[in-house]
Every structure is written in structure tokens, then in C-alpha cells.
């Protein structure tokens, strides 16, 4: 009989991350993750297509987090304001109590090149998705693509800063610092 219970997915993620962190990603098998989480391998594969996806689950939520504020904004909202709203929504997705998990996840990813490339692919996918959302919302090209790329770049840099060991400011503060830096680079002294 297949066990199914609320929280199994999250427990598998937590267990897997701990094993990856302690023993190495390549050295950890799905069988070990399932055993440590007290489920069958079959249950594991009901939640994740493979071992790698434990670290990259929730892609739809991730995309929606950025695009929902754009879809909800009044027509005619300037592109940079749409970017700001998307990033504020993303910041809410990364509260301080998630920081320790994110730091550990990043260390696991940084240790395995194929995982780093998968992470870059995830961000590339987000750029495409957000660009399409901006176009649907009336932003013309090439501004829509530029705005989407800029938003994801600021997100990525803010995330990297947020999980730095010497950082304790919240995600939103770090995002705004980077948006301000971008404005200063593009239009100095304004």
C-alpha cells in the first residue's frame, strides 16, 4: 500500500537536502532519501521525477510569483514599476525563516556543475515566461524582454546576497538596493 500524507513532499525535500549536504549530492541515492524519510522509493517518485528535482520543485509557483503582480497591475503601469512589483512579490516568497534552507541548498548546487547549470536554466525559463507576461500586458519589444531580463537579474543578484553568510537584511531591502544601483548606473546623478 502506498502511503500518502500531507507534508511528505516537504519532508522528502528536507531529508534529501540534509543527506546531500552531509554526504554529497552524487553520493546520495533515492533509496537512501526514501529510507531516511520513512517512505518507499515509489512514494518518492510520486512526488519527484528524479533526485535532481527535489532541489528544483515548485517551478510553477516560482514563475507565478513573478507574473501574478504583472497580470494584476492596471493597464499602462510603466515597465519598471511592473518589475518592482514582481520583485516585491518574489521577496515575500523568501522570508527570513527560509534563509538557512536556501543557504544549504545553494551549497549543494554550487558543488555540482550540472546542478548549477540546471539553476541557470530555471532562471532562463523565468526570463522567457516573464517577458511573455509583460508583452501580454502591453509592453512592447525590445522593452518587454529587457525588463524581464533585468528583473530576473536583480532577483538573482539579490538572492545571492540574501544567502551570503555575512548578510542579515531582508530580501526586500536587498532588492531595493539593487534596483536603486541599476537606476544609478543607467542614469547617474539623477
Rule CB under 8 A: which residues touch its own copies?
Answer: 78-80, 83, 113, 116-118, 120-121, 124, 142-143, 145-147, 149-150, 153-154, 156-157, 161, 177-178, 181-188, 190
Residue nearer to its own copies on the CB measure, 34 or 147: 147
Structure-derived torsion over alpha carbons of residues 28, 44, 63, 72, reported in degrees to the nearest 10: -150
Query: Minimum Å distance from CB 18 to its own copies?
Result: 27
Beta strands in 66-140 (DSSP E): none
For its own copies, which is the closer residue by CB, 100 or 164? 164
- Rounded to whole angstroms, the Cα distance separating 107 from 55 reads 12
CB of 54 to its own copies, least distance (A): 19
For its own copies, give the closer residue by CB, 92 or 183. 183
Number of other residues whose CB lies within 10 A of the CB of residue 110 = 11
Q: Which is nearer to its own copies, 39 or 154 (CB)?
A: 154
Extract the C-alpha cell encoding 14: 528536507
Closer Cβ to its own copies, 78 or 95, answer by number: 78
Nearest approach, Cβ of residue 190 and its own copies (Å) = 7
- The CB-of-188 to its own copies minimum distance in angstroms stands at 5
Q: How far apart are CA 68 and CA 121, in angstroms?
A: 21
CA atoms within 13 A on the CB side of 14: 9
Residue 143 CB, shortest distance to its own copies, in Å, is 5
The whole-angstrom separation of Cα 15 and Cα 9 is 10
Amino acid at each position: 500500500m502506498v502511503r500518502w500524507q500531507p507534508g511528505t513532499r516537504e519532508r522528502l525535500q528536507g531529508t534529501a537536502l540534509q543527506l546531500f549536504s552531509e554526504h554529497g549530492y552524487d553520493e546520495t541515492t533515492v533509496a537512501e532519501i526514501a529510507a531516511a524519510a520513512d517512505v518507499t522509493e515509489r512514494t518518492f517518485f510520486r512526488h519527484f521525477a528524479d533526485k535532481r528535482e527535489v532541489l528544483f520543485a515548485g517551478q510553477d509557483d516560482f514563475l507565478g510569483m513573478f507574473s501574478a503582480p504583472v497580470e494584476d497591475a492596471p493597464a499602462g503601469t510603466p515597465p519598471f514599476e511592473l518589475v518592482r512589483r514582481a520583485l516585491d512579490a518574489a521577496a515575500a516568497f523568501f522570508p527570513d525563516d527560509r534563509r538557512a534552507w536556501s543557504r544549504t541548498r545553494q551549497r549543494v548546487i554550487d558543488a555540482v556543475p550540472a546542478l548549477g547549470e540546471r539553476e541557470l536554466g530555471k532562471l532562463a525559463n523565468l526570463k522567457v515566461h516573464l517577458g511573455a507576461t509583460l508583452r501580454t500586458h502591453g509592453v512592447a519589444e525590445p522593452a518587454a524582454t529587457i525588463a524581464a531580463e533585468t528583473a530576473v537579474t536583480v532577483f538573482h543578484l539579490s538572492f545571492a546576497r540574501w544567502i551570503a553568510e555575512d548578510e542579515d537584511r531582508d530580501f526586500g531591502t536587498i532588492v531595493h538596493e539593487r534596483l536603486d544601483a541599476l537606476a544609478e548606473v543607467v542614469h547617474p546623478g539623477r
